[in-house]
């Protein structure tokens, strides 16, 4: 993206009907570390990649608890994400104080989208440079929403945002039909595999990812590193056991040699020997 005469103000339209500062905010989401969300009928799992600016620094928190039944994962400008998560927390507290019941997830997402939209229509403000995956559970079931800096919001079965998120989206698109009936453990496994897809060959470890779970009878909470590492080890062991099973073992090669020798000995003419060798197909071995 290049600077032009139509991006000095968020309220200035280009001749093509575009608001460039809003597009720049959406680009900031693509540059942030990846965040992934999945949901079934009863559970929601959020995952994110922990990115550090230096080996000497700690990573910034990317998953926030809003209420016992709502949590968010962010990608983009972390400071904006903290402000919006605090706003969501205040809305949940006020609603619970007034009506003595949890705030429905859909209503909170609409309020958040309205707050983001105001920043696209005021010249003295700028759009929030952060995308939020909002996971929640209410009377109508489990929900997963994506809130965009433009003020749009969408509900998903599974979604990924941030840098290199396309690889995770490809995996989720292949598997999303089974998510609705998935168990808690299966959702966590799929979230870890999708997170691994965004690392571009880097080994997945509990120190570079965060997993949060929310479900029926289970308040929103972030899994500790030891639990995440155990789950990663279990999934990698299963993958390693499946690979040798598909490869032919050395015994098969040893059995193949006597079979070829006996086939050649049985054929007296040269053409019969050739036919016998042609009959010794790999399927017979």
Q: Are 42 and 216 in contact (CB under 8 A)?
A: yes
| Whether the predicted model's global pTM rises above the 0.85 cut | no
User: Taking 50 as the threshold, does the pLDDT of residue 274 lie above it?
Assistant: no
Domain ranges of the chain: 39-242
pLDDT digits (tens, 9 = 90+) for 17-64: 999 999 999 999 999 999 999 999 999 999 999 987 777 778 889 999
> What is the band of 244 on the pLDDT scale with cuts at 50, 70, 90?
low
Contact by Cβ (8 Å): 68, 219: yes
- In tens, the pLDDT along 146-188 reads 999 999 999 999 999 999 999 999 999 999 999 999 999 999 9
CATH class of 39-242: alpha beta
């Amino acid at each position: 993206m290049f600077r032009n005469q139509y991006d000095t103000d968020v309220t200035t339209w280009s001749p093509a009907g575009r608001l460039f500062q809003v597009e720049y905010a959406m680009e900031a989401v693509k540059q942030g570390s990846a965040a992934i969300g999945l949901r079934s009928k009863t559970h929601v799992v959020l995952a994110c990649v922990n990115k550090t600016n230096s080996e000497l620094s700690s990573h910034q928190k990317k998953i926030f608890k809003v209420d016992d039944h709502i949590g968010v994962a962010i990608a983009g400008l972390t400071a904006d994400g903290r402000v919006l998560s605090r706003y969501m927390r205040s809305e949940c507290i006020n609603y619970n104080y007034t009506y003595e019941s949890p705030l429905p997830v859909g209503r909170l997402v609409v309020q958040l989208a309205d707050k983001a939209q105001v920043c696209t229509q005021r010249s003295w403000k700028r759009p929030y440079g952060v995308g939020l995956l909002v996971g929640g559970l209410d009377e109508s079931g489990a929900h997963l929403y994506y809130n965009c800096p433009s003020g749009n919001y969408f509900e998903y079965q599974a979604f990924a945002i941030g840098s290199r998120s396309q690889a995770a989206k490809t995996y989720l698109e292949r598997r999303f039909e089974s998510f609705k009936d998935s168990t808690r453990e299966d959702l966590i496994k799929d979230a870890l595999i999708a997170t691994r897809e965004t690392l571009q060959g880097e080994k997945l470890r509990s120190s570079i990812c965060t997993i949060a779970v929310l479900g029926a009878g289970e308040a929103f909470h972030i899994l500790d590193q030891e639990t995440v590492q155990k789950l990663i080890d279990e999934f990698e062991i299963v993958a390693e056991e499946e690979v040798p099973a598909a490869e032919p073992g050395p015994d098969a090669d040893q059995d193949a040699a006597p079979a070829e020798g006996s086939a050649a000995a049985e054929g007296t003419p040269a053409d019969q020997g050739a036919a016998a060798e042609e009959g010794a197909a790999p399927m017979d071995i």
